[in-house]
Structure 1
Amino acid sequence: MKKIWVIDDDQAIRWVLDKALQKAGMQPRCFERVGDLWQALQAERPDVLVTDIRMPDISGLELLRQVKMQYPDLNVIVMTAFTDLDSTVIAFQEGAFDYLVKPFDLNEALALITRALEQSQNTAGADTAISSIDNDSVDKMMSKSSSRAMQDIFRAIGRLAPSKVTVLITGESGTGKELIARALHKHGARVNKPFVALNAAAIPKDLLEAELFGHERGAFTGASHLRKGRFEEANGGTLFLDEIGDMPLDLQTRLLRVLAEGSFYRIGGTQPVNVDVRIIAATHQPLETRVAQGSFREDLFHRLNVIRLRVPPLRERKEDIPRLVRHFLQLSAAGLGVATKRLSPDAMQVLQDFDFPGNVRQLENFCHWLTVMSPANVIGKSDLPPELLSSLTHYLPADAGAGQSNVAEDISFSSVPASASQAAQPVNQSFMSESEAQLQYAESQRFADNTPTMASSVSEQGSEGWLMLLEKEVLRQLMLGTSGIMDNLTTEFEKKVLSTTLAYCRGHRSEAATRLGIGRNTVTRKLKLLGFADE
C-alpha cells in the first residue's frame, strides 16, 4: 500500500483525509506537529507528503524547502486557503508537486495524490533511464538507427561534440531531440560537467525567469534565501533549452544578452554572474515563421542558429523501425521482469506502414503497450493497439475469412454502383422542382431497366445479395474496433431507404410513406433526424 503522510494542525482536515485515503486503498499517517514528522522521517519515508502552508511552529513553505533539500525525490503537495500569487510561485520554485486550495473537493484531492504517486513512480524510472543515458544508452539507442538521414546526424555529432558552438536541433515532437543533445554533451570535452535541461513550454511564464537566472534573497515576498538558476547549475557544462520557440519575448531579450555577454543578473541582484555554458536549443516549431509573425526575436534566432541539425521524422526512416521495436520490447520486458516478446512479419509490416505522428516516442509507447497487453509471446496483427488497427483500411485477420473469397475487400455498407448512388441521392420537395424530380425518376428507371441492381439481386437470390454486403460491413467494422455499430448502420440504412424511396416517388412524401408502410409524419421526423432539410 502506498504511504501518504499528512501534516496539518487542523484536526478536521486530518480526519477527513485519513478516512478518504484509507477508503481509496492507501496507507495514511497524520501529523499535527512538524517535530513528529521529522522524527518519523528518520525511520521511514512516505510516497507522498501533503502539508498545510500555515502551521503554528513552522510554515509549510519552510517545511517544503527542508524536505526537498534532504529528500529531493519526495513529491510534496501544499494545502492552502490563501491563493496569492507569491505563495503559489514560491511553492513551485521550492519544488512542490502541486497545491490544493481549501476548502477542496475530496475527489480532487485524491486525484491529485494519485497523480503525485504516478509521477513519483515515473520519476524513479526516469532517473534510472537518465543515468543509463548518461553512460551507455545514448549510443545503444542511437545505434538502432541505420538510415542515411540518421547516419548524417551521427557524423555531425562527431564533428560538433568537441566544440563549444551553439547548436539548434529541429524536428517534430518525439523524434529524439534531447537524445541528440545528450550525445553532443557526452562525446564532448564537457562530459564531466553538468548537463542541465529546461523545457520552456513546461514551466509557467511567472516561474521561467527564476528557473533560468535564479533570484537573490529578498527579491520578492517569500524569497528567504539565494537560489541559483539553470545557467549557474550548468556552469562549465551544457544547458539544453527545449522548446525554445515557446519562450516569452521578454525572456528572449534576457537570453540574448546572456548569449552575447556570458553574464546575467539574478532576479533582484546587482552583481553580474559570469558563466561558461554551451547552449543547445531545440524546437518543433518553424522559427523562421515565428520570426515573421513577430513572436520570436530575429537576432536571437540568428544567435541560436549557428549549426542546425534537423532530426527526420520516423516516417522518413522506416528502415529503423524493426531495430527500434526490438530495442523497446527488450527494455519493456526488462522493466516488467517478463520474457521479451517479438512481432510476427505481418505485424512488423503494419508498424512499418504506419506514419507515426508521435514518432519514436509513439513507437516506444506502442512497444510498452504490447508488452503489457499482448497475451502471446509472438505478437500478431490482431494483437496490435487500436490506433494501428484503425489505420488499416483493408484489415481483417487471416482466419476471419476462412471459407470465403475476397472477404477483406474494401466494402462499405453504402457501396452500390454509381448509377444507383445517383438514384439514391436525398430528394426533398424544398430542393427539387417537379421537372427535376421527373428527371431523377427517369434516371432511376433507366438504371432499373439496364443495370443489375440490388433489387434485381434480391428478386433472384432472395435477401442474400445485400445481406452479404451487410455482413461484410459489420465484420469489417468489428475488426477495426468501431464502437456503436448498431446505431451507425441503422442510421445509414434509414438514410439509404428514405432517399431511394423519395427519389422513386419523385419527392412526394405521402407516396413514399405509403410505399414504406409508415406515416408521413414519421417520414418528416426521420428526415429531420437524419440531417435532411425540412420542407
Structure 2
Amino acid sequence: MKPIWIVDDDQSIRFVLEKALLREQLPSRSFTNARDVIAALDEDKAPQVLVSDIRMPGGSGLDLLDKVKARYPGLPVIIMTAYSDLDSAVSAFQGGAFEYLPKPFDLSKAVELIRRAVEESQREEVGDETMAEAPEMLGQAPAMQDVFRAIGRLSQSNVTVMITGESGSGKELVARALHKHSPRANGPFVAINTAAIPKDLLESELFGHERGAFTGAQTMRRGRFEQADGGTLFLDEIGDMPFDLQTRLLRVLSDGHFYRVGGHSAVKTNVRVIAATHQNLEQRVKEGVFREDLFHRLNVIRLRLPALRERREDIPMLTRHFLQQSARQLGVEPKRISDAALGWIGQFAFPGNVRQLENMCHWLTVMAPAQVIEPKDLPPEVAVLEAPSAPPVLATSVAEPPVWVQGQADVAAPQKVPDTPALPAVLEGSWEQGLEADATALLATDRTDVWDTLTARFESRLIQAALAATRGRRIDAAQKLGIGRNTITRKIQELGLE
C-alpha cells in the first residue's frame, strides 16, 4: 500500500500521527510544509491519503488541497484545522476535502478517519481500473456477462438482431456496441425512435422524400436508411411502428430496396438493422397490430437485456461511474458515496432501470449538500418506496414517516404516549420486535456497519422526539433524555439534524 502523507509544521502532531499509524501497520511519510509536498509529487507517486494542516509557513493547506486535487482528483485529503474555524472547514469541503479533523483531536478517531479515507482511496483505484477496462458498458453480473459474450459473437456478423428489455435498460448502448465492434464500424450509426415520431412523418424519416412529394417538401431529402448506408440502423421501440409502415420495412429487409415518398425509382441500400422493443412482440402479433412475417424477419437473433434489479451487484459500480460522469459534465468535483447510502440505493427497485440511476446521480451531484453522499442525502423515492421493514417510532401516530426516511421529510411531533403500565407491553410488541427484525435482515447481508446504522437511526428518532416535545429547546430536550447539553449538540451535528 502507498504511504499516508502527513503535512504539519508542528513536530508533535507529526510524531503522534506517525506512531499511531505505525501501530495500525499503515505506512506514513511526514512533511513540514506544502512546498516539500509539491516537490515530492513531482518525483514520486501520489500517496494513499494526504493529511494536512491548514495553516503552515510557505503555503496553506487549502492551497495545497487545490494543487493536489488538480493532479489527483480521486485522492482523499483530510484537512486539520481549529474546531472554531468554520470558514476554513467550509472552504476545505468546497475544495474537495474528504473530511476535516478539528484540533485538538482524539487520536483513535483520527486513525479511524484515516482508515476510512484509505478504504475510499482503494475503492477509487478499483473503480478507475474498471472504467478503463469497460468504458462503453459496465457490468459484472452474470446476466451482463452473457450480454457481453453475445455482443462478441454477433459483432462480426451482419445478421439482424432484436434487443428486448425494459425501458431505460440500455438497449441503444448494446446496439452501439454491436456496431462499434463490427466490420461496419467505420460506417454511420443511425438511430431512430419509431414511437417518438408522428405517424405522418415517420415514413419520410425512414425512407426520405422527393421534392414536391407533399406540402413543405421543397427539396429532396434522404431518409434514415440512406443515411445509414454502409453502417447500422437502430430502430428503437419497433413494436410501436404503424401497421402500414411495417409492410414497407419488410420489403427493405428482404432485398435492400425501397422508394422515397413521392419517388418512382428504387433506391438500394446496404444497412444492418438492429431493432429494439420493451413490448412483447409475440403478444402484439396475436393482437393483430404487428405483422407476423416482419416479426420473424427481425427476430433472427434475440438478445435480452436484464433489468437493473436483476443485476443489483452492478449498482455500486454504475453509481460511482455516473457520479464521475455527471461531475465531468457539470465541471465540478466528483462526489463520493458512502457504503450505507449505496446499501439504500441497492434496495431500490429502479422501475426506470439504468437511466433512472443515471438521473439520480445527476440529482445527487447537484443537490447533495456534502462531498460524501450519505443515506439522508438520497432522493425521497429511494428511502420511502424501497426501504426495508423497520420498527415504527414510539409515537402512536401512523402518519409519521418511518425511521428510514430520516432527513427526507419533515418529522411530525409524536403524540404523547400515555404513562400507563401497559406501555412496556406496547413497546415490546412493536418497535423492539421491529428492531430485531431489521437487525436480522441487515446481518444477513455483507454489511459491516449494522451497529452504527441502527444506533444512528435510534438516536436520531429519540432526539427528534425530545426536540419536538420541548419545541426545539436543546437544553430541555437534553434534560428529559438524561444527557448533557454538549452531548445532544454533538449528536445533532453527527446525525445531520441541524
Q: Which range, TM-score by smaller chain? A: 0.5 to 0.7
Give the drift of 1:339.
1.6
For residues 350-388 of structure 1, give each alpha carbon's deviation from its aligned partner in whole angstroms, at most 9, with x where no partner exists: 111111100000011111111110011111111000110
Give the drift of 1:468.
13
CA contact (8 A) 1:458 1:464 kept: no
CA contact (8 A) 2:394 2:431 kept: no
Larger radius of gyration: 1
Work out which of the residue numbers 241, 264, 273 in structure 2 matches 1:270.
264
The alpha-carbon distance between structure 1 residues 394 and 158, as it changes in their structure 2 partners (threshold 3 A), is: closer
Which residue number in structure 2 is paired with residue 328 of structure 1?
A: 322
Give the drift of 1:470.
13
Which residue number in structure 2 is paired with residue 237 of structure 1?
A: 231
Which residue number in structure 2 is paired with residue 172 of structure 1?
A: 166
Q: 1:460 aligned to 2:416?
A: no
Alignment RMSD? 3.4
Q: 1:140 aligned to 2:100?
A: no
Give the drift of 1:162.
1.2
Identical aligned residues as a percent: 62
Between 223-232 and 459-468, the greater mean CA deviation after superposition:
459-468
Matched AA of 1:235 = D
The alpha-carbon distance between structure 1 residues 205 and 411, as it changes in their structure 2 partners (threshold 3 A), is: farther
Matched AA of 1:200 = T
Matched AA of 1:320 = D
Work out which of the residue numbers 181, 187, 191 in structure 1 matches 2:181.
187
The alpha-carbon distance between structure 1 residues 202 and 138, as it changes in their structure 2 partners (threshold 3 A), is: farther
CA contact (8 A) 1:244 1:283 kept: yes
CA contact (8 A) 2:392 2:430 kept: no
Matched AA of 2:186 = N
Work out which of the residue numbers 213, 228, 231 in structure 1 matches 2:222.
228
CA contact (8 A) 2:141 2:314 kept: yes
Matched AA of 2:320 = R
CA contact (8 A) 1:393 1:410 kept: no
CA contact (8 A) 1:394 1:408 kept: no
Q: Distance in 1 between matches of 2:301 and 2:366?
A: 41
Matched AA of 1:160 = L
Work out which of the residue numbers 398, 410, 432 in structure 2 matches 1:413.
398
For residues 218-277 of structure 1, give each alpha carbon's deviation from its aligned partner in whole angstroms, at most 9, with x where no partner exists: 112222211110000001110000000000000001100111121001111111000000
Q: Distance in 2 between matches of 1:197 and 1:272?
A: 23
Q: Distance in 2 between matches of 1:470 and 1:333?
A: 44
Q: 1:384 aligned to 2:363?
A: no
Work out which of the residue numbers 203, 214, 219 in structure 1 matches 2:208.
214
Q: Distance in 2 between matches of 1:365 and 1:334?
A: 15
Matched AA of 1:254 = R
SS of structure 2 residue aligned to 1:212: helix
Q: 1:312 aligned to 2:306?
A: yes
Work out which of the residue numbers 322, 338, 348 in structure 2 matches 1:344.
338
For residues 450-486 of structure 1, give each alpha carbon's deviation from its aligned partner in whole angstroms, at most 9, with x where no partner exists: xxxxxxx9583699999999999xx99x99xxxxxxx
Q: Distance in 2 between matches of 1:190 and 1:411?
A: 66
The alpha-carbon distance between structure 1 residues 255 and 381, as it changes in their structure 2 partners (threshold 3 A), is: same
The alpha-carbon distance between structure 1 residues 247 and 148, as it changes in their structure 2 partners (threshold 3 A), is: same
Q: Within 5 Å, which residues of 2 pair with 1:353-392?
A: 353-392=347-386
Q: Distance in 2 between matches of 1:312 and 1:471?
A: 38
CA contact (8 A) 1:171 1:284 kept: yes
Moved >4 Å (runs of 4+): 136-139, 392-396, 406-412, 461-472
CA contact (8 A) 1:329 1:341 kept: yes
Q: Distance in 1 between matches of 2:146 and 2:248?
A: 34
Q: Distance in 2 between matches of 1:461 and 1:395?
A: 28
Q: Distance in 1 between matches of 2:148 and 2:227?
A: 28
Which residue number in structure 1 is paired with residue 440 of structure 2?
A: none
SS of structure 1 residue aligned to 2:420: helix
Q: How many residues align?
A: 291
Give the drift of 1:408.
5.3
